Amino acid sequence: MDAIYKRRSIRRYRNKAIPEDLIEKILKAGMNAPSAGNEQPWHFIVVDDREILDQIPEFHPHSKMLYEAPAAIVVCADVTNVKYPEYWPQDCSAATQNILLAIADLDLGGVWLGVYPREDRVKKLQEIFGMPDDMIPFSIIALGYPAEQKPAKDIYDSHRVRRNRW
């Protein structure tokens, strides 16, 4: 519950690399997400090459924080021979959220950058990373040691909840 409330979109980062053991913890959180039929269609690209990070804001209009972020994780789906082709975006969403919660729990900062279903963003990322057409980049998570603080949030709204009928 602490990580859920503490997680905020953090878009300013200190100039400090993230140690490999933390990256691995974060990836483990992503891979522990639920998936339809336990398909686990996800693959992850860890990006810490400054030249590559700097290419993304050239076509993704809401990703300027990548100029400052020491790293990003691209969540991708392998859509070849999936048993439940309708569900891979939900699977990748669950993995993305698990990653964001792990980042918050480790006192790092991160933000979800939307990719799929924007075709232009999908194509550009496939080009940059040399991905085949049936590997779909779903989201980017920018991350780093936070250089901004945001209060934990509690936006519970009882009007959004109904019981037993609409």
Min separation Cβ 85 and ligand FMN, Å: 20
User: Least distance in Å: CB of 100 to ligand FMN?
Assistant: 8
Of the two residues 12 and 153, which places its CB atom closer to ligand FMN in the complex?
153
Least distance in angstroms from the C-beta of 92 to ligand FMN: 10
Q: Which is nearer to ligand FMN, 5 or 84 (CB)?
A: 5
Sequence-distant (≥ 6) Cβ neighbours of residue 62 within 8 angstroms: 113, 114
CA dist 119 and 108 (Å) reads 30
d(CA 166, CA 148): 40
By CB under 6 A, name the binding residues for ligand FMN.
8-9, 11, 62-63, 111-114, 153
Residue 153 burial by Cβ neighbours in a 10 Å radius (0-12, 13-18, 19+)? exposed
The smaller minimum CB distance to ligand FMN, of residues 82 and 113, is found at 113
